[in-house]
Amino acid sequence: MSTTAPDPLATLGALPGVADAVDSVRKAVDRVYGHRVMRRRSNEVTAEAALRGARGSAALSGADWNLEEVRRRTDFSGDDESQVIGAALRLTAEAGQLLSIWRQSPLRVLARLHLVAAGGAAPDDAVGRPRLAGEPVDEPLIEAPLPDADEVAGRLEGLSGLILAGSAAPALVTAAVVHGELLALRPFGSYNGLVARTAERIVLIGSGLDPKSICPAEVGHAEQGRAAYVAAFEGYLSGTPEGMAAWIAHCGRAVELGVRESTAVCEALQRGAA
């Protein structure tokens, strides 16, 4: 008699409160996609969402710049904060180009994301590969204990297997797990938070929930604040049903706040104030 292996992501989707978060996100996304501006100027909304998403992700990594400063600046090669902003901008530009590879080899995409984020700012042999035993990690926001290199390698393979196997779980659940697991592992020596949030974006786009990439969850994560982000992430780390549900709900709220941001962009474009 054959048996079907359980779908761990679908199991998370059945946790109390998660279905409500999923439904709320779906309705919010549908509303912004139905905005009349999206019929004619969706490319402009996508570009603005990328800029605002990059700013939000960078803010969580310690570079909390005004949006207009991010828009104005052209050189990001200076101090540490400038480099973080530059990395976030490069990652949002790259995300949409990696969808087909993500479906075939998530680990290749993660390596590419780190390479793009580092942009030559790290030693060549440390870029684009998981850290080795004893190598340091620079991730100022996340202070949880670091898994060792062997655990990182094993869990990355497990995460890749989950993605490749496919799941009946809603996109929000998969995106939250990918985001949370990469934050937990911090597999690279630098820019792990930026990479994790970009991977969340890739899942949301590639799943069909947000195919035009106009719902920047990074904006919502930043708007909820660094303390709330860390507290929700601690729920993920706990592995308890309540903690996992709280993390997924937090990610769902982030998407909804991203939707609100892009709705405001649509309204501005409609008024001719782009």
DSSP 25-94: HHHHHHHHHTSTTHHHHHHHHHHHHHHHHHHHHHHHTT----HHHHHH-----SSHHHHHHHHHHHHHHH
- Lowest average pLDDT, out of 75-89, 109-123, 230-244, goes to 109-123
pLDDT at residue 104 greater than cutoff 60: yes
pTM: 0.94
Higher pLDDT, 59 or 8: 59
At 120, the pLDDT band (50, 70, 90 cuts) reads low
- pLDDT at position 274 is 45
pLDDT at residue 56 greater than cutoff 90: yes
Mean pLDDT of the chain: 93
* Residue 127 CB partners (closer than 8 Å, separation 6+): 114, 115, 118
- Lowest average pLDDT, out of 8-17, 18-27, 64-73, 148-157, goes to 8-17
Q: With contact defined as beta carbons under 8 Å apart, do 130 and 152 qualify? A: yes
Mean pLDDT of 116-132: 81
- pLDDT at position 5 is 58
Q: With contact defined as beta carbons under 8 Å apart, do 219 and 257 qualify? A: yes
Mean pLDDT of 221-230: 97
Q: With contact defined as beta carbons under 8 Å apart, do 15 and 248 qualify? A: yes
Mean pLDDT of 28-52: 96
Residue 219's nearest CA partner among 246, 186, 256 is: 256
* Residue 150 CB partners (closer than 8 Å, separation 6+): 133
* Residue 187 CB partners (closer than 8 Å, separation 6+): 110, 130, 131, 152, 156
The first and second tokens of residue 41, run together, are: 């100027």
Mean pLDDT of 233-252: 97
- pLDDT at position 273 is 52
Mean pLDDT of 37-51: 96
Mean pLDDT of 170-187: 97
Q: 3-class DSSP state for residue 138?
A: strand
- pLDDT at position 78 is 81
* Residue 230 CB partners (closer than 8 Å, separation 6+): 141, 142
Strand partners, 138: 190
pLDDT at residue 138 greater than cutoff 60: yes
Q: What percent of the chain has pLDDT over 90?
A: 84
- pLDDT at position 28 is 98
- pLDDT at position 122 is 54
Inter-axis angle of helices 171-185 and 149-165, nearest 10: 170
- pLDDT at position 81 is 93
Q: With contact defined as beta carbons under 8 Å apart, do 170 and 22 qualify? A: yes
At 13, the pLDDT band (50, 70, 90 cuts) reads confident
pLDDT at residue 267 greater than cutoff 60: yes
pLDDT at residue 156 greater than cutoff 90: yes
